[in-house]
Amino acid sequence: MSRRTFSLKKNEKNKVLVALLMLLLWRISSAALHAEQSLSPVQASNVDATVEMEMNREHVVGIAVGIIRNDDIVYLKGYGLADRENNIPVTTDTMFRWASCTKPLTAIAALQLAEKGRLDLDADVRRYVPEFPDKGVTITARELLCHESGIVHYSNGKVIVTRRRYDAPHPFADPVMALDTFKESPLLFRPGERFSYSSYGYILLSAVIERAGRETFAAQIVDRIARPLGMTTLQPDYEWVNIPNRAVGYQFESGSVVRSTDTDTSWKWGAGGYISDIRDFAVFAKALLEDKLVDEETQTEMWTPQKTLDGRLAKIGALDYGLGFEIQVGRTGQLIKVCHDGAQEKTRTRLVIYPGLRNGVVVMTNCEWVDPGIFSTLIYRALQKE
């Protein structure tokens, strides 16, 4: 063996040793970083004790929580049962319906199109979806986003369903076809006159998004939200599709916990038709904190309280309403809290973030009688204890 050959092999060995050392250092630093971004054992124990105590108090079957601190997901955990009858536990892989927490997804998709100049938020929605009947007034995407369109909700006015035959087995999976569930209904008021929450309005908005984006609504959610963020489980909650790890839902009737219905929600997927695990729900919340989904100007507008034509704030309970989000603004005008709740057969959900603190909590449960806001509040309190 020549001295040159020996020298080359020695250099190669040195390179391998250096590479192994670099890998080891990377793993050590990565583990240290992870430790810094995780809850302390005391905090984790406090959260667990708090969640389990409230579960016992409310007779909760199953729940999952996610915690974001300093823009990082630091805790994901499932508690209780995803399927009580078969004794299947809730894990971080359990799939829960988002219910109306889908609306922020839809809002983001609409605002992304507006940024690209493909959707005019202040144009008549019939420019994009002429299948929606002329109501004699202009309804805009902005009014749909902030629930000022005058479109009926489930029980606050007369809902007229279009009756006709369909060739497809699940026609309302197409948001334009889903307009048949309400499009003939009279408006409750002239658009812009007042705030009135409407899931039907978000069905129309999803149809507008599909036409303006020139791609199916579902594909746009994947291409511009789920895939860029690494959300691997977010998908439409088709009841006719076998979705692994899907939670069973429960109702509370006459003092007893009973299994809920498997009601199909595909007809309103832009308003409340998506499903995912707790990780993807937390990833979405984290992306909102990190300003990853829309630009700064759009986000400011999205989280600004909207007003009616006479200058009144759009409000849902004690909170103001922006474009797809519930918000709380302080006395000096600073943004304090951004949130949304979901309520539907088989689920109750909550997403709440504090942009100024870079923190947030997400909650998903398979029990229809539970207020997830109680859990998010108690979790925040538990995190303050050391």
Its pTM stands at 0.89
Collapse the DSSP code of 149 into the 3-class scheme (helix H, G, I; strand E, B; otherwise coil) and give the result: coil
- Could you report the per-residue pLDDT of 205-226, keeping only the tens digit for each? 999 999 999 999 999 999 999 9
Do 284 and 377 share a domain, yes or no?
yes
Do 111 and 154 share a domain, yes or no?
yes
Question: DSSP letters along 241-256, please?
Answer: S--TTBPPPEEEETTE
Identify the pLDDT of residue 385.
Answer: 81
Instruction: Give the span between the Cα atoms of 316 and 276, in whole angstroms.
Output: 26
Identify the pLDDT of residue 20.
Answer: 41
More confidently predicted of 17 and 28:
17
Do 49 and 78 share a domain, yes or no?
yes
Do 73 and 140 share a domain, yes or no?
no
Give percent of the chain with pLDDT exceeding 70: 90
Q: How confident is the model at residue 24 (pLDDT cuts 50, 70, 90)?
A: very low
More confidently predicted of 30 and 227:
227
With 90 as the cut, is the pLDDT of residue 49 above it? yes
Do 257 and 371 share a domain, yes or no?
yes
Do 48 and 162 share a domain, yes or no?
no
Cβ-based burial of 200 (10 A; exposed 0-12, middle 13-18, buried ≥19):
buried
Q: How confident is the model at residue 386 (pLDDT cuts 50, 70, 90)?
A: low
- Domain extent, residue 205, equals 107-213
Residue 309 lies in a domain: yes
Residue 219 lies in a domain: no
Do 365 and 325 share a domain, yes or no?
yes
Do 254 and 118 share a domain, yes or no?
no
- Could you report the per-residue pLDDT of 97-113, keeping only the tens digit for each? 999 999 999 999 999 99
- Could you report the per-residue pLDDT of 116-160, keeping only the tens digit for each? 999 999 999 999 999 999 999 999 999 999 999 999 999 999 999
CATH number at residue 295: 3.40.710.10
Residue 37 lies in a domain: no
Instruction: Give the span between the Cα atoms of 348 and 56, in whole angstroms.
Output: 17
Residue 36 lies in a domain: no
